[in-house]
Amino acid sequence: MQKTSTTGHSGLAPDRLRRLSSVLQGYVERGEVAGIVALIHRRNEEAAIETIGWQDKETRQPMQRETIFRIASMTKPIAITAALTLVEEGKIRLYDSLDAWLPELSQRMVMHNPNGSPNNVYPSPRSITLHDLLTYRIGIGWGTSSLRSRLFAMNPSPVAETLQIPNVEQLAPDAWIARLGEMPLLYEPGARWLYHISSEILGVLIARITGKPLETFLRESLFEPLGMVDTSFVVPPAKRNRLATLYAQTPTGKLTVRDHPANTGWAHEPLFPSAGGGLVSTADDFQRFGRMLLNKGQLDGVRILSRKTVEAITTDYLTPEQHTHSSFAFDRVDTDPSASIWDNWGFGYGVAVRTRRIGLGPSIGSFFWPGAYGTTWICDPQEDLMATLLFQVIGANPFYTQLGEDFLAMIYQAIVD
C-alpha cells in the first residue's frame, strides 16, 4: 500500500522524508482521502515516491505509481506551454490582437458595472491580445458578476458533471466561442485578473492556428517529446483499471463516489476538449512536464521551450492594483484567514509565482497551479525541486487545505544541505 524510495544525492534526508510518508498516511487512515501519490525530484534525481491508500476505496484496489488522475486545472499550464511553442515558431505574437483568429471576440463591448445590466455597455478601447489571454486578463471570467451563472454553465463535459454545475449547455468549440461572443466583457482587456474562461478560449485558439484538434497538437508538441504517455482527454479501455475513483466529501466528511472508472465521463472523446481542466495524467507524466520547466525548457535532451520563454511564464504580470483584488475562491491561503492569494503570489502565464517568502515553504520564484479534484505540484528553481501531489476529492484544492500545507512543510523540512 505504500512505497518510499530515496537516494542519497538529492539533499533531502531519507529519515526526514519518512515524516512525509507518515503525515500522508494519516490523511488516508482518517478517511479524509482514499489514496495519495506523491513524487519528488531534486537536482534532476528522484528523491521520493509515495503510493498510499486506495485507488478505489470500496474495492480496496491499492493506489499505485501508474494510477491515472483527473488533473483539472493543472491542464491550464500544459495548454499554455503548448501555445507558447506557437509563439516561438512565429505563428502568433504575444501582443497580437486575437481578432483574426477569434472574430467572435472582436469589437467587444464592456459593462459599465460588472454586477449590473449586460445591456449597459461601452466599446472596448482595444482588442484582446494573446498576452491578455495567457495572464487571464481578457476582461471576462469567473468571479462575482451578473454573468457568473452563465459563465459557469459554459463548463464543458465531463468536468461540468463532476462539479454538478446546473443548467450546463454542451457546445462544440465553434458554438462555444460564438456563445461567449454574445456576452459583453466585465472589464476592459488588461484591467482585471479573472479565472478560467481564458484557458477555454486558448484551446479554441490553438486548434484554429494549427488546424488540428487540441489533443493532437498537445500530443505532438508536448506529450510525445516528453514521454507523457498517459496524459490525455480520454482514458481508453485498456487503461481504465488504472483510473482513480473520484470522490466528493459529504457535509459529515465522508467520501462519496462522484466519477467511477466503470462509467467515467472520461471514457469518450469530449465534444469540447477543455484546455481549462479536461486532462488526465499520472505523477510521472506531470513530473516530466514540471521538470522540463524547471530545467529552463528542456528535459533529457529534448527542448520544448527556450529559457527566455520559461522566464516569461514565471514572471508576475499583475499590477500593484490587481494584487489587491481577491479572486472568487482563492482566500484563506497560507493558513492566514485574512489573506488572499495575491498577497504572497503573483501570476505569470498560467501559473502562480511566489513573490514573498513566508515560513517554511516555497522560495521566491517558485511556481505552480493546482486542480480542484485534489492535484497539485510545486516547481522551486532556487532549490532545484519539483514535486507533485495527487489525490481525488472534489473541492479539496491541495494548496488551500491542511494536506497541501503539510505536503510542503514535510518536503522543505527534509532539505538538509
Q: 79-212, which class in CATH?
A: alpha beta
Total Cβ atoms within 10 A of residue 269: 11
346 Cβ contact partners less than 8 Å away, ≥ 6 residues apart: 316, 317, 318, 323, 352, 353, 355
User: Which pLDDT value is given to residue 253?
Assistant: 83
Is pLDDT larger for residue 20 or for residue 251? 20
Lowest mean pLDDT among 15-29, 245-259, 385-399: 385-399
Residue carrying C-alpha cell 484591467: 191
Is pLDDT larger for residue 53 or for residue 402? 53
Res. 415 pLDDT band, cuts 50 70 90: very high
For the chain, the domains span: 14-74+215-412, 79-212
**Considering only CA atoms, which of 296, 366, 327, 283 is closest in space to residue 40?**
283
User: Which pLDDT value is given to residue 338?
Assistant: 54
User: Which pLDDT value is given to residue 247?
Assistant: 97
- Grid cell at residue 277: 481542466
Pairing of strands 352-354, 345-347: antiparallel
Res. 251 pLDDT band, cuts 50 70 90: confident
Is pLDDT larger for residue 286 or for residue 332? 286
**Average pLDDT of every residue of the chain:** 93
User: Which pLDDT value is given to residue 359?
Assistant: 83
CB 146 within 8 A of CB 133: no
Residue 130 clears pLDDT 80, i.e. is over it:
yes
Res. 9 pLDDT band, cuts 50 70 90: confident
**Considering only CA atoms, which of 144, 197, 145, 74 is closest in space to residue 326?**
144
Residue 328 clears pLDDT 60, i.e. is over it:
no
CB 236 within 8 A of CB 132: no
Residue 108 clears pLDDT 90, i.e. is over it:
yes
Residue 261 clears pLDDT 90, i.e. is over it:
yes
Burial (CB count within 10 angstroms: exposed 0-12, middle 13-18, buried 19+), residue 30: exposed
Total Cβ atoms within 10 A of residue 22: 9
pLDDT digits (tens, 9 = 90+) for 57-98: 999 999 999 999 999 999 999 999 999 999 999 999 999 999
pLDDT digits (tens, 9 = 90+) for 272-325: 999 999 999 999 999 999 999 999 999 999 999 999 999 999 999 999 999 988
User: Which pLDDT value is given to residue 404?
Assistant: 85
Q: Summarize the confidence of residues 203-213 as an average pLDDT.
A: 98
CB 67 within 8 A of CB 49: no
103 Cβ contact partners less than 8 Å away, ≥ 6 residues apart: none
Distances (CA, A) of 311 to 146, 294, 344: 36, 10, 19
Burial 184-203 (b: 16+ CB within 10 A, else e): bbbbbbbbbbbbbbbbbbbb
Q: Which CATH superfamily is domain 14-74+215-412 in?
A: DD-peptidase/beta-lactamase superfamily (3.40.710.10)
Distances (CA, A) of 81 to 211, 278, 293: 18, 16, 9
Distance CA 38, CA 407 (A): 9
Distance of CA 64 to the CA centre of its chain: 22
Residue 180 clears pLDDT 90, i.e. is over it:
yes
**Considering only CA atoms, which of 396, 352, 354 is closest in space to residue 371?**
396
- Bridge partners of 343, per DSSP, are none
